[in-house]
Amino acid sequence: MNKTIEKAEQNLLHTYNRFQLVIDHGEGNCIFDTDGKEYLDFFSGIGVFGLGYGNKKFADAVKAQVDKITHVSNYFYTEPLAEAAAKLTEVSQMDKVFFTNSGAEAVEGALKAALKYAYNKDKSNDHEIIAMDHSFHGRTCGALAVTGKAAYREAFEPLISKVNFANINDFESVERLVNDKTCAIIMETVQGEGGIYPADEDFLRKVSTLCKEKDIVFILDEVQCGMGRTGYMFAWQKYGIKPDIMTCAKALGNGIPVGAFLLSGRVAESSLVAGDHGTTYGGNPLASTAVSTVLDIFREEEIDRHVREITPYLESRLDELKDRHSCVLGRRGAGFMQGLILSVKPGDVVNKGLEKGIILLTAGTDVLRLLPPLTIGKEEIDKMYEILDSILAEFDQI
The 3-state secondary structure of 162-216, one letter per residue = CEEEECCCCHHHHHCCCCCCEEEEEEECEECCCCCEECCHHHHHHHHHHHHHHCC
pLDDT number for residue 226: 98
Whether 120 contacts 108, CB under 8 Å:
no
Is residue 221 within a helix (H) or strand (E), and if so which, with residue range? Answer: strand 217-221
Domains, the chain, in order of start with CATH, read 2-54+305-395 (3.90.1150.10), 69-301 (3.40.640.10)
pLDDT number for residue 157: 85
Q: How far lies 110's CA from each of 136, 176, 198, 218, in Å?
A: 15, 24, 21, 10
pLDDT number for residue 380: 98
pLDDT number for residue 187: 98
Residue pLDDT tens, the chain, 398 long: 999 999 999 999 999 999 999 999 999 999 999 999 999 999 999 999 999 999 999 999 999 999 999 999 999 999 999 999 999 999 999 999 999 999 999 999 999 999 999 999 999 999 999 999 999 999 999 999 999 988 889 888 888 879 999 999 999 999 999 999 999 999 999 999 999 999 999 999 999 999 999 999 999 999 999 999 999 999 999 999 999 999 999 999 999 999 999 999 999 999 999 999 999 999 999 999 999 999 999 999 999 999 999 999 999 999 999 999 999 999 999 999 999 999 999 999 999 999 999 999 999 999 999 999 999 999 999 999 999 999 999 999 87
pLDDT number for residue 124: 94
Where b means 16+ CB within 10 Å and e means fewer, 346-362 reads: bebbbebbbeeebbbbb
pLDDT number for residue 209: 98
List the Cα angle 223/357/255 in 5-degree steps.
30
> Model pTM?
0.96
What span, in angstroms and rounded, lies between the C-alpha atoms of 176 and 7? 52
In DSSP terms, 260 is beta-bridged to: 99, 248
What span, in angstroms and rounded, lies between the C-alpha atoms of 333 and 347? 19
pLDDT number for residue 98: 98
What span, in angstroms and rounded, lies between the C-alpha atoms of 97 and 59? 25
pLDDT number for residue 45: 96
pLDDT number for residue 158: 85
